[in-house]
Amino acid sequence: MSETAPRNRPENPATEPSAATPRTPGGSAVPTRRGGGDPGSRGRTTIADGVVEKIAGMAARDVVGVHDMGGGFARTFGVVRDRVPGGGRSVTRGVKAEVGEVQTALDLEIVVDYGVSIADVARAVRENVISAVERMTGLEVVEVNIAVSDVKLPDEAEESTEPRLQ
pLDDT at 41: 80
Instruction: Grade residue 162 by pLDDT with cuts at 50, 70 and 90.
Output: very low
Within 13 Å and on the Cβ side, how many CA atoms surround 136? 17
pLDDT at 74: 46
**pTM summary value:** 0.66
With contact defined as beta carbons under 8 Å apart, do 108 and 70 qualify?
no
Report how far Cα 1 is from the mean position of its chain's Cα atoms: 69
**43-70 pLDDT, tens per residue?**
889 999 999 999 999 999 999 999 999 9
Query: Does 133 have pLDDT greater than 60?
Result: yes
d(CA 20, CA 10): 18
Mean pLDDT of 150-158: 85
Which amino acid is present at 40? G
**2-40 pLDDT, tens per residue?**
555 555 555 555 555 555 666 666 666 666 656 667 887
